Amino acid sequence: MIVRNIRDKEVLDTTYLAHGGAIAQMILDRRTLKEIGFLAIAMLAPGKTIEAHVDPMEEIYFIMTGEGEMSVDNETRHVKPGDATWIPTGSSHALTNSGNEDCVILVIASPAW
């Protein structure tokens, strides 16, 4: 069993700027996982954007706090806490924090079956 906390050194050591806008950290990734690509947490400040990009894995963005405008390919929707957005492999996606507080998201990624 592996239990990882977002305050653990192994997580904090992975801090990076994700796609020009969010401060992200890998909670669990390929160093540990066998089938799933990764589980990350990201914080997007008000007015900041995770720039449009395409990943080689299927992803889910789960909004923990805050709100924003989520775009996947040619569709944009408002997202809020509790919303999960599925992003198919190869789809262009972006998220803009349109609120007044930090938008915290969990990102789960997995290779397509």
Contacts of 61 by beta carbon, 8 Å cutoff, 6+ apart: 70, 79, 84, 85, 87, 93, 95, 105, 106, 107
* Structural domains of the chain ordered from first start: 9-110 (2.60.120.10)
Calculate what percentage of the chain has a pLDDT beyond 90. 92
Q: Are 111 and 57 in contact (CB under 8 A)?
A: yes
* pLDDT per position as a tens digit, 4-59: 999 999 999 999 999 999 999 999 998 899 889 999 999 999 999 999 999 999 99
Q: Is the dihedral of CA 91, 77, 16, 7 positive or negative?
A: negative
Encode pLDDT of 12-24 as tens digits: 999 999 999 999 9
